[in-house]
Amino acid sequence: QNLTKYFVAKRSLFGKAESYVKAVESISFQVIKGETLGLVGETGCGKSTIGRTVAGLYSPTSGQVLFNGGNVHAAIRGSNPLAMRRRIQMIFQDPYASLNPRMTVGDIVGEPIDIHGLATGGARMDRIYHLLKKVGLNPEHASRFPHEFSGGQRQRIGIARALAVDPEFIVCDEPISALDVSIQAQVVNLLQELQEQFGLTYLFIAHDLSMVKHISRRVAVMYLGSLVELADCDELYKKPQHPYTQALLSAIPIPDPAVELDRKRIILEGDVPSPINPPSGCKFRTRCRYVMPKCSEEIPQLISQNEHHVACHLINK
Ligand code: SF4
Ligand code: MG
């Protein structure tokens, strides 16, 4: 709800903040229980910041994250932070950096079980073996170290670690971006199987619309810290409305004659502006081919028509 996250970009000699990276500005959306919401945007648009804030790793600058109506950050600051942390887990982008190279796979998967006090001794080991089997590894892998595994297998270890505490909601922060294309589908399929089996809800972050297509029920598109469009997956691919989404989609080939979009490739002029000093009004206006005077004066609000949300003055007249 109205989630905003700024990071200090520059401090004065006396430690006072002089400028901020406006990573996320006043974003609101819902993830519905049991669904996968895809969150897409270019590198640096703020999607990981949203993921980390939702997962409670960052505190919001303003706004709030609600989980079943309860404030996530208030719960984490309260007397029993582990109860909320257990419900929301995270899978990270880089399966090479996110696993401690000095810990065995068993200890990596066992650590959250220990922190949350879920099992000890033989029951703990059984739980670890069970988790490894669930993600397509085997119990013998528990005594090995991360460097003995491929990227895809490491991501499976990361998934087992996230599952270890029986979470309800998992933020998947670009879980397949660092993997070979041939391995990506396997990991997506595994995530889908686990979702069905455990009734999980996912926020699935990716930098490219083609990566979220097969796993998401709905997709949200971000540009420079703002949400520009959110719709049902099929609807978004067939009838993208925001000029930025149209440009993103035109860059990926879709072998489907029913797609109504003009398939001519839309080339975006210029670079993404700095998030320290983003354009006034619509942040996309410096690159939009439909820009009009109103676009620099007024921030376009995300407005819904039949559950298709768009933030653009051209659409919301
Ligand atoms: Fe383009 Fe204006 Fe719409 Fe922004 S609000 S996407 S600048 S038409
Ligand atoms: Mg990221």
Q: Which atom of ligand 1 is nearest to the CA of 291?
A: 7
76 alpha carbon to ligand 2 midpoint, in Å? 23
252 alpha carbon to ligand 1 midpoint, in Å? 22
278 alpha carbon to ligand 1 midpoint, in Å? 14
Q: Which atom of ligand 1 is nearest to the CA of 313?
A: 5
Q: Which atom of ligand 1 is nearest to the CA of 243?
A: 6
pLDDT tens, position by position, for the chain (317 residues)?
999 999 999 999 899 999 999 999 999 999 999 999 999 999 899 999 999 999 999 999 999 999 999 999 999 999 999 999 999 999 999 888 899 999 999 999 999 999 999 999 999 999 999 999 999 999 999 999 999 999 999 999 999 999 999 999 999 999 999 899 889 999 999 999 999 999 999 999 998 898 898 899 999 999 999 999 999 999 999 999 999 999 999 887 666 656 555 567 888 888 899 999 999 999 999 999 999 999 999 999 999 999 999 999 999 98
Q: Which atom of ligand 1 is nearest to the CA of 244?
A: 6
Measured between alpha carbons, how far is 81 from 87 in angstroms, rounded to an integer?
11
The residue among 162, 108, 111, 101 whose CA lies nearest residue 135 is 162
Phi-psi region of 63 (alpha: psi -120 to 50; beta: other; left: phi over 0): left
175 alpha carbon to ligand 1 midpoint, in Å? 31
Q: ipTM strictly over 0.90?
A: yes
Measured between alpha carbons, how far is 164 from 130 in angstroms, rounded to an integer?
10
46 alpha carbon to ligand 2 midpoint, in Å? 7
The residue among 141, 155, 230 whose CA lies nearest residue 185 is 155
Which class for 5: exposed (0-12), middle (13-18), buried (19 or more C-beta within 10 A)?
Answer: buried
Ligand 1 binding pocket mutation candidate from 285, 302, 315, 317 (most atoms within 8 A of CB): 285
Taking CB atoms and a 6 Å cutoff, what residues make up the pocket around ligand 1?
243, 282, 284-285, 288, 290-291, 295, 300, 312-314
Compute CA distances 36 → 14, 159, 177, whole Å.
45, 16, 17
Domains, the chain, in order of start with CATH, read 3-310 (3.40.50.300)
